[in-house]
Amino acid sequence: MLLKIKRSLSKKQLSPTGTGSPNFLPIIFKMILVILAGIMGGIKCDEYFSLSFPVFTIGLSLASVAIAVYILIIETKR
């Protein structure tokens, strides 16, 4: 069954960078960079203020995920 589906697809449809397909790799790297920066910044803030509960780690990681989703929405509209 899978072999029949692969045969029916043209080479243009199978190629990851075919014409008309957007390149999401730079967007993914931006998102990963923003999320990692938020997490690392939260960890460093928690260490600096010597908090027993990781308030900054949770807050900054959630904020960075929201910013990453915003970047995704803005970049895909282009």
| 46 compared with 11, residue with greater pLDDT | 46
The string of pLDDT tens digits covering residues 1-24 is: 555 555 555 444 544 555 555 688
Which pLDDT value is given to residue 11? Answer: 47
Q: How confident is the model at residue 77 (pLDDT cuts 50, 70, 90)?
A: confident
Closest CA to 42 of 54, 32, 30: 54
Beta carbons of 57 and 32 less than 8 angstroms apart: no
Which pLDDT value is given to residue 15? Answer: 47
| 52 compared with 34, residue with greater pLDDT | 34
Task: Read off the pTM.
Answer: 0.69
- Count Cβ atoms below 10 Å from residue 39 Cβ, excluding itself: 16
Where in the chain are the domains?
22-77
Q: Looking up tokens 């190629």, which residue turns up? A: 15
Cα torsion 60, 64, 66, 72 to 10°: value is 180
